[in-house]
């Protein structure tokens, strides 16, 4: 950015800040145009006494987020701190851990005792492990006092999912996300060939068969394992449990305590026999397990028809092809329709936690309470500066980027920050246009059929069965994958060999271990069946 543009940007920022402050004095613009039912700020007292909390000491909090800052993050945080200083006599020093080294950095940060007042937490960032090890502070007694709005607005189910050994160690994001597996497919070819809408396994098979016969195209061209394995699990309602347990599943959502190794089930035997016929018909190539190309790449060049994606990934792929290949019509079938339900990602998939090294946990919770429940804080930290990074459409809910004033600005970039940890569904603005048109319909479907995620909280230390786990996974790679992909000529003999090898690897010990830990989890959260 050259000096003139920098100067201009500074002027815009300064002017905007003045506008924001003046509008706040007017008493109405602080909600950023949100609907009347949006939560309002809870600030009714002076900075010296927010409720019954002594705020006489000026405090700087140390927060960590995962990801990279935006080029304008410094200016946004400066405005954030200006508001916090006025209302809570507090500022925040915001630090970031990059995607390149976050795992190592998290380990160091949470073990070295470095002062951290709040940090992004997630199930995939080992939240349960760190909480169990005592790296985070329990928040049960602090939340009602220092984050009363958050305590009231977060659902009982979300608080339950944040618990480890009966204690809450993080404030979960209350923004449900749905990521069921499914397939993107050439919808224009389905219509051209007069095929039924894809709605079940039979219609999927009919589609694959017609594409192969009538179009002369390998339907799943490239790596096909994800397409077939996720379809297998979803079709039989087999649910992974306990993280990296490989072949260990619960036999259905309705029988979560019935935990087995799926290669020993009748369902698996029936499936691999069917996959042998699919492979023989050429629905994928015989070298699929060694292929380095994605099935989606073949769709792009007209030599494939089916590609595994979760729902958000499907939207991104479809919209990308609408730009690059406008003559191609794609559609999406989520596997959740096999059994007509979907589970949201666990609420603590995105959350904020307070490390045990925190100096000001109470003040951090007060700031988070403002951030999650006051639109002026939420909009600023999530979307940046109105008029600079976005503008609000006439409906008062939808944000448009870039704002009209910067439509031709080559220096413009969407404001982006790792805001997942504090996202709240009622506060989140709608992002418009440019997105996948079908997503809203899918989201409504997912919400209508949503069930609580009772499995994701089963997180275990596999150290007592580490040898068995490694051996089982090796056997699955050597014997299970070829069976799943129909590449074994004598299916019955191959299945017999696979099962014997799993038993020799200690699969039953692994199942027993997972079952023990899972049942303890289900006992803790009140799951009876």
Report the pLDDT value the prediction gives residue 453, as an integer from 0 to 100.
85
What's the half-sphere exposure (Cβ side, CA atoms, 13 Å) at 71? 9
The mean per-residue pLDDT over the stretch 484-502 comes to 98
Residue 88 or residue 521, greater confidence: 88
Confidence (pLDDT) at 1: 44
- Average pLDDT of the segment spanning 208-223: 97
**How far is the C-alpha of 491 from the C-alpha of 201, rounded, in Å?**
21
Among 351, 353, 354, 341, smallest CA distance to 455 is for 341
Average pLDDT estimate for 297-311:
95
Of the pLDDT bands very low, low, confident and very high (cuts 50, 70, 90), residue 49 is: low
Write out 92-140 in H/E/C secondary structure.
Answer: EEEEEECCCCHHHHHHHHHHCCCCCCEEEECCCCCHHHHHHCCCECCCC
Q: What's the pLDDT band for 28 if we cut at 50, 70, 90?
A: very low
The whole-chain average pLDDT of the chain stands at 87
Higher-confidence position of 408 and 236: 236
Q: Is the pLDDT of residue 352 over 90?
A: yes
Q: pLDDT band at 38, cuts 50/70/90?
A: very low
Mean pLDDT of the 20-39 span: 34
pLDDT of 80-108, one tens digit each? 999 999 999 999 999 999 888 888 898 89
Q: Which residue has the higher pLDDT, 404 or 264?
A: 264
In this prediction, residue 425 has a pLDDT band, given cuts at 50, 70 and 90, of confident
- State whether the Cα torsion 235-240-244-245 is positive or negative: negative
Q: What is the pLDDT of residue 510?
A: 95
Taken in order of first residue, the domains within the chain and their CATH numbers are 3-176+347-422 (3.40.190.10)
Interval 469-478 mean pLDDT: 95
pLDDT at 182: 97
- At residue 36, the pLDDT reads 36
How big is the chain, counted in residues?
529
Which position has the higher pLDDT, 165 or 337?
Answer: 337
Q: At residue 279, does pLDDT exceed 60?
A: yes
- pLDDT reported for residue 245: 65
Q: What does R_g of the chain's alpha carbons equal in angstroms?
A: 26
Work out the pLDDT band at 435, boundaries 50, 70, 90: low
Query: Is residue 25 scored above 70 in pLDDT?
Result: no
Residue 85's pLDDT is what? 97
Q: What's the rounded Cα separation, in Å, for the pair 261 and 223?
A: 25
State the Cα–Cα distance between residues 85 and 63, nearest whole angstrom.
16
pLDDT at 24: 36
pLDDT tens figures, 100-153 = 888 889 889 998 888 999 999 998 888 888 998 999 999 999 999 999 999 999
3-state secondary structure of 29: helix
Across the range 420-437, mean pLDDT stands at 78
pLDDT at 282 over 60: yes
User: Which pLDDT band, with edges at 50, 70 and 90, does 29 fall under?
Assistant: very low
Phi/psi at 224 (5° precision): -120, -5
- The answer, yes or no, to whether residue 2 has pLDDT greater than 60, is no
Burial of 274 per CB tally in 10 Å (0-12, 13-18, 19+): middle
Model confidence at 335: pLDDT above 60: yes
- The SS3 call for residue 371 is helix
Tell me how far CA of residue 270 lies from CA of 60, 248, 267, 484, in angstroms.
Answer: 62, 18, 5, 11
| DSSP-based three-state secondary structure for 11 | helix
pLDDT of residue 208: 98
Q: Is 483 exposed, middle or buried (0-12, 13-18, 19+ CB in 10 A)?
A: buried
Q: What per-residue confidence (pLDDT) applies to 15?
A: 40
Asked if pLDDT for residue 42 goes beyond 70, the answer is no
> How would residue 50 be classed by pLDDT, with cut points 50, 70 and 90?
low
In this prediction, residues 377-396 reach a mean pLDDT of: 92
The whole-number pLDDT of residue 20 equals 36
- pLDDT tens per residue, range 496-507: 999 999 999 999
Residue 376 has pLDDT above 80, yes or no: yes
pLDDT, tens only, 163-180: 888 899 999 998 878 889
Q: Is the pLDDT of residue 247 over 90?
A: yes
pLDDT value of residue 179:
87
């Amino acid at each position: 950015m050259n000096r003139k543009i920098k100067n201009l940007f500074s002027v815009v920022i300064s002017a905007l800040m003045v506008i924001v402050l003046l509008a706040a004095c007017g008493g109405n613009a602080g909600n950023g145009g949100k609907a009347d039912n949006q939560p309002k700020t809870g600030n009714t007292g002076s900075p010296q006494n927010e409720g019954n909390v002594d705020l006489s000491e000026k405090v700087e909090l140390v927060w960590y987020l995962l990801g990279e800052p935006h080029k304008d993050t410094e200016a946004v945080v400066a405005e954030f701190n200006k508001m916090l200083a006025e209302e809570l006599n507090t500022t925040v020093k915001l630090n970031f851990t990059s995607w390149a080294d976050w795992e190592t950095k998290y380990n160091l940060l949470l073990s070295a005792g470095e002062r951290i007042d709040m940090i992004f937490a997630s199930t995939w960032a080992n939240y349960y492990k760190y909480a169990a090890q005592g790296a985070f502070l329990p928040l049960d007694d602090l939340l009602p006092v220092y984050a009363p709005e958050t305590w009231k607005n977060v659902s009982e189910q979300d608080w339950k999912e944040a618990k480890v050994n009966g204690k809450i160690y993080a404030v979960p994001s209350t923004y449900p996300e749905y990521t069921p597996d499914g397939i993107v497919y050439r919808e224009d070819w389905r219509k051209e060939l007069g095929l039924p809408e894809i709605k079940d396994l039979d219609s999927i098979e009919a589609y694959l068969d017609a594409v192969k016969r009538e179009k002369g195209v390998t339907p799943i061209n490239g790596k096909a394992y994800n397409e077939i394995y996720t379809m297998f699990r979803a079709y039989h309602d087999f649910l992974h449990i306990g993280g990296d347990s490989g072949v260990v599943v619960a036999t259905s959502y309705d029988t979560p305590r019935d935990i087995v190794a799926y290669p020993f089930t009748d369902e698996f035997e029936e499936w691999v026999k069917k996959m042998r016929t699919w492979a023989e018909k050429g629905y994928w190539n015989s070298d699929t397990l060694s292929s380095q190309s994605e099935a989606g790449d073949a769709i792009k060049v007209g030599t494939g028809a089916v590609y595994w994606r979760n729902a958000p990934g499907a939207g991104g792929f479809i919209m990308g092809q609408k730009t690059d290949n406008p003559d191609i019509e794609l559609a999406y079938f989520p596997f959740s329709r096999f059994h007509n339900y979907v589970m949201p990602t666990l609420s603590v998939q995105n959350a904020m936690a307070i490390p045990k090294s925190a100096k000001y946990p109470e003040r951090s919770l007060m700031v988070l309470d403002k951030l999650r429940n006051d639109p002026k804080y939420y909009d600023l930290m999530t979307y940046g500066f109105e008029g600079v990074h976005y503008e609000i459409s006439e409906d008062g809910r939808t944000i448009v980027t870039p704002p009209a004033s910067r439509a031709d600005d080559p220096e413009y970039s969407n404001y982006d920050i790792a805001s997942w940890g504090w996202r709240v569904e009622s506060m989140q603005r709608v992002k418009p246009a440019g997105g996948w048109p079908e997503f809203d319909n899918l989201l409504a479907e997912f919400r209508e059929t949503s069930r609580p995620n009772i499995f994701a909280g089963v997180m275990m230390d596999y150290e007592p069965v580490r040898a068995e786990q490694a051996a089982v996974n090796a056997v699955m790679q050597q014997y299970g994958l070829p069976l799943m992909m129909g590449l074994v000529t004598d299916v019955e003999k191959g299945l017999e060999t696979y099962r014997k090898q799993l038993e020799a690897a200690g699969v039953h010990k692994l199942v027993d271990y997972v079952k023990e830990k899972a049942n303890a989890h289900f006992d803790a959260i009140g799951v009876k069946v």
